[in-house]
Amino acid sequence: MKGDSSMEPYREASPPTPSPPAPSIPASSMRASDQERDATVQRLQVAFAEGRLADAEFDERMRAALAARTHGDLDALLTDLPATTAPVAAPPAAPAPARMPKPGRNAVAYKNSVRYAGRWRVPGTFRAIVYKGSGVIDLRAAELTEPVTVIRAVAYKSDIEIIVPPGVRVEVNGFGATRDEDWSGDLPADAPLVYVRALAYKGLVETRTMPRR
C-alpha cells in the first residue's frame, strides 16, 4: 500500500562517535605544591650539612626550590643527591636516634671567634656577644625550634655575621646592623621569622643570605 511507512526496512541508529581521550600531563610537568617545595628544601639542607653541597651550590638550589613551578623543576635539583627514603639496615635493638640537643642560649667570645653552623637546634632566643673577635651564626641547615627566633647580637670592636636561608622572614634593627637584600622572593604568611636585635660598637652585625666571599 502506498504511504504505509510500516513497510519500510528497519534501520539501526549508528552509535555516537566517542570523544578522543584527554591528553595526559607528564608527571614532570605537574604543578608543585608548597609542601613539595618544603620537602625539597629539607633534603637540600641535609645535603649541605653533610658536605655534599658547597655554599654557592646550596644557595642557588635553595632559591630555585622556593621558586620551582613543576615536579621536574624540583627533581632536577636532587638528581645528584642520595634519596633520604632509602632503608638503612640497623640492629633490631638499636635505640632510636636522639634529637639534636639545643645549644646554650648564649655564645660569648673574648678576643676569639665563635661559630655555629651545620645542623644545630636554635632556641627561641639566642644571644651572641663578641669582644674584639668575630662570630658566625649560620642558620642555613639549622632547625628553628620556634616560629619566631630572636637573635640578640652584641659586637664590641668585632664583626658578627648571621646567615639566613631564603624562605625565612628577617627583621633587623639596632645600632651598627646591616641586612643583605639579595633575597626578595614572596614568602608565605606562615614563614618562620628571625628577628635580629643588634648592638655594635666599632664593629658590625651583618645579616646575609650567603656567606662573605
Query: Measured on CA atoms in the order 6, 11, 17, 18, is the torsion positive or negative?
Result: positive
Q: Which residue has the higher pLDDT, 202 or 88?
A: 202
Cα–Cα distance for residue pair 125/20, rounded to 1 Å? 61
| Range in 77-86, 116-125, 158-167 with the lowest mean pLDDT | 77-86
Three-state secondary structure call for residue 19: coil
Q: Which residues contact 87 (CB under 8 A, 6 or more apart)?
A: none
Cα radius of gyration (the chain): 28
71-97 pLDDT tens trace: 999 999 999 998 764 433 333 444 444
Residue of 148, 158, 168, 144 lying closest to 198 (CA atoms): 158
pLDDT for res 21:
66
Alpha carbon 78 to chain centroid distance? 14
pTM of the model: 0.67
